[in-house]
Structure 1
Amino acid sequence: MSGVGTTDGVSMANGERRYLAFDIGGTKIASGVVSLPSVDSLAQPVVADVEMIPTLADRGGDDVRERLVEFAVRRIERCAHDGVDIVGVGIGSAGVVDSSSGVILSATDLMPGWAGQHITAAVGEATGLPVHMVGDVGAHGIGEALYGAGRGYPIMLSVGVGTGIGGAVVDHGRLITGAHGVAGHVGHMPHGLGTGMRCSCGTTSGHIEPVASGTGIADLFESRRPDDVAPAANAAAIARRAAAGERYAVEILTMSARALGECLAGMGNLIDPAAIVLSGSVVNAGEVWWRALREGFADGALPLLRSTPLLRGRLGGDAPLIGAAAAFAAYSDICHA
């Protein structure tokens, strides 16, 4: 559906066309009706009629696919009832996505049985609409690059730090996916802090995700916790305790964020982005986290890259829906060129 390695930038001759967008994650599947303005204008996209259902990933990939199709059909029927004309469906999905075939190439343990699912064909056959799919983190990156914190920066690295860690490289509105669809996998950058900690991809050789994602921060805290320190329920609790000055919480949050910053520096040295945009629940961890992240980045980045801005994403949960719609619009423009 799109050229290998890229999803071309949006050529906005789309007026007020509306797209039905989906964001498929390990916890929930979100959907919204997205109206896209021209990227040359100062207007922002409008995301309306947002609805969510649980992914229930532990039931397996077939079950997730079937419930996604039912969800899509129900959404299209509602749009038709309300007189909303939908021109196409954009999907951002967890896992490594082959946009040209609409198939999930691989997925981590967070989505068992998701690899091999023919999502584009299933949704297209059920709805009768054209469908285009990209990775969920890629969709998020496209949204932030075209309409969010990355707007105006020609090359952007988008990083999502939540339950896991994902990333996307967006070059002048194009999603760079690489030869195997895995470009931008920030969470699987190597770092010594992760050695011995099991990553969602299965390795214990030392990836950053199992020590710097929301889940990873909590695991790191527990793995090193002294007997005289109370357990923490999650990363948010650790961040609150760090903000209150608890020494061990500050130590763990600093250690984790600094390691992530060093990994971002490594990626920055490789791709030379104009900006790095960070989104997800962990970016709310407070000043301790941001300071350590920036220090780690500055220490690892080449001198010319040290001034690269590390920005907080602006679009929140709307970013992947906007990006999925924008990716479909680009795909549609290519097909009709």
Structure 2
Amino acid sequence: MSALATPPQERPPRLRTDPSGSWRAWPLRDRVLLGLCWAAGLALIAIAALIVLYMLVKGVQYLRPELLWDRPEASIDQSRSGGFLDPILGTVLIVVGALVIAAPLGVATAVWLTEYGKPKWLARMVESGIEVIAGTPSIVLALFGLAFFAQGGLGFLSATGEGGAVFGRSLLICCAVLSLEALPLIVGATREGLLSTPRHVREASYALGKTRAATIHRVLLPVARPNIATGCALGMGRVAGDTAVVLLLGGGTLQLTTNGSIPGLNYLQGTGSTLTTYVYANSPSGEGGAPEKAYAAAFLLLALVLVLNWAVDRIARGSNERLGWTR
């Protein structure tokens, strides 16, 4: 054989399994792991279905139309005193208020971290701060908010007592503190949408003479709109399900109280409750003594969450169809 002759090509080793073939041809270990994955997924589906069905049966059994528009009354026996109109309105006010604060801040933070991120030491500090907030228990955030907003200079945000004492409790303060719980979810979902946008999309915009700000506003944010909607929905679910912050900072009053003279804002400056605190107070272990109403309120809260998830899915699908974008 000549020295310049090329040696015969070695045949690549055969794979143990064909990924496109039937799972029956897989090794036993792979089949066992596949079975465990299926079992875990089916178990989660079963648990979620049991929760929904249980609350559906219990909630529909005790839910009456008059509970939706009757205001609760201060009484030891809540089973015979009004409905939960005020907790429903309090839930809507807190969720919308927290989203109004968290959504612009979260989207702006995600855009800055993804598209700019300079100086790097500041970007690392911001990312660490978001991670710390995401891992902080809500009761700790509530105690922080109580200590912070009880300062004398912030008395206009809440009710005050005799001598100018600031209580640091109002629905507006609840919105501000609960927005911290929604912020990491919005930032994470928005960053995922921006990072998954192909690089050539940015380059095409720059090639047309668009600035970075114009590219972000007219190209990247519309593409990431489904992710932003998902982050906002997750944040709203987190806010709607919180109890500790509302109990400590919302005042815990059954009915919405006003504070101030500005229409609309006086409700945010006042105190109130939400469906979660209503369920907590009237649960079988609570002080309200109305477990039937607690089941009805819990079912209503679960229904709101399901409707929210459905709406987000519709928003995401509609945005993708309008943009002609498939990930």
**Could you state the TM-score of these two structures normalised by the residue count of structure 2?**
0.22
Greater percentage in helix: 2
Q: Larger radius of gyration, structure 1 or 2? A: 2
**TM-score, length-normalised on structure 1?**
0.21
